[in-house]
């Protein structure tokens, strides 16, 4: 009996491993087929996350339209992608200059985006601007600049491209937001406010465009690791919040987020959190037990 048990256990583990492997392969193949030949627009493609999203979608055979503020950096990204690609299964990316924080120029850039292929299947709103500081030290001008980059920019691009999706009754809008769109963090009031506004807008949009078969997804990571925290003695980073929001060293790796964006598009997920259990628990507590979250000596430290 003991020998039989000894033999059965490895077989069970091997069988489970095989099932997991097969499942992952099926998901990978589905993700690949879901974006092949699709027109995918990535804003701020020259950022760390933008580059990884470009790499992932390009490798899967998407027709990329890469947007960024600097033509030189866009050209470098273009060259890097085609240098490692198989031309028989990939398409040469098209490039569009776009400064998401310059609202007056967004509509013209959106028209240029649509002119590339005549349509957009997937729009990935990736551009973002970060800021940290006490509320009283951040000028109203800077507040507006953050709101332009993180809220008005993405919704302006979306509004310009949305009619094309609605008329074709197909499309997918993905927003790379942040967990701070659900949960405010000290010394990031302007940033969190812009992300809360973005969350609210695209939640409403999802409900409005469902009848037109247009999907809306929000991907909420914690900090993306390319963003470096600057530690200063006595500030909030020395408090519970540093532990509260960390994942790995300084957040989620851009590769991890890019791969999740691909899965989100293939499965049409509505909302995704990329975080360890602690930030996820914080969102739950903030939503259902605010008196606990804000209590004296509680989460606010």
Active-site amino acid positions = 191
How many Å apart are CA 8 and CA 149, to the nearest integer?
Answer: 58
CB 277 within 8 A of CB 247: no
Taking the alpha carbons at both ends of the chain, their separation in whole angstroms is 57
Picking from 73, 82, 85, the residue whose alpha carbon sits closest to that of residue 48 is 73
For 218-279, the DSSP string reads: EEEES-BTTSPP---TTSGGGSHHHHHH--TTTSB-HHHHHHHHHHHHHHT-SEEEES-HHH
- Distance of CA 233 to CAs 225, 228, 237, Å? 21, 16, 8
Q: In which element (H, E) is residue 124 found? A: strand 122-125
How many Å apart are CA 167 and CA 142, to the nearest integer?
Answer: 37
189-209 vs 153-168: helix crossing angle, rounded to 10: 10
Q: Which single residue is written with the structure tokens 């999802």?
A: 206
CB 149 within 8 A of CB 101: yes
């Amino acid at each position: 009996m003991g020998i039989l048990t000894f033999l059965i256990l490895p077989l069970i583990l091997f069988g489970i491993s095989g099932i997991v492997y097969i499942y992952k392969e099926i998901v990978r193949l589905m993700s690949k087929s879901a974006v092949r030949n699709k027109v995918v627009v990535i804003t701020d493609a020259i950022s760390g996350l933008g580059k990884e999203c470009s790499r992932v979608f390009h490798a899967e055979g998407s027709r990329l339209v890469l947007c960024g503020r600097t033509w030189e950096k866009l050209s470098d990204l273009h060259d890097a992608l085609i240098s490692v690609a198989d031309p028989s299964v990939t398409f040469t990316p098209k490039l569009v200059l776009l400064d998401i924080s310059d609202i007056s120029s967004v509509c013209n850039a959106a028209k240029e985006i649509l002119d590339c292929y005549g349509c957009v299947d997937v729009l990935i709103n990736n551009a973002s601007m970060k800021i940290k500081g006490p509320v009283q030290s951040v000028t109203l001008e800077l507040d507006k600049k953050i709101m332009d980059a993180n809220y008005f920019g993405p919704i302006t691009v979306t509004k310009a491209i949305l009619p094309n999706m609605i008329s074709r009754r197909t499309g997918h809008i993905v927003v790379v937001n942040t967990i701070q769109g659900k949960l405010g963090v000290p010394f990031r009031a302007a940033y969190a406010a812009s992300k809360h506004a973005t969350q609210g807008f695209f939640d409403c949009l999802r409900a409005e465009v469902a009848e037109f078969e247009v999907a809306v997804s929000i991907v909420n990571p914690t900090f993306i690791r390319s963003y470096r925290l600057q530690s200063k003695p006595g500030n909030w980073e020395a408090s519970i919040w540093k532990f509260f929001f960390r994942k790995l060293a300084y957040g989620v790796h851009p590769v991890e987020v890019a791969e999740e964006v691909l899965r989100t598009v293939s499965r049409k997920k509505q909302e995704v959190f990329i975080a360890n259990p602690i930030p996820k628990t914080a969102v739950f507590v903030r939503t259902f037990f605010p008196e606990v979250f804000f209590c004296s000596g509680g989460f606010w430290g």
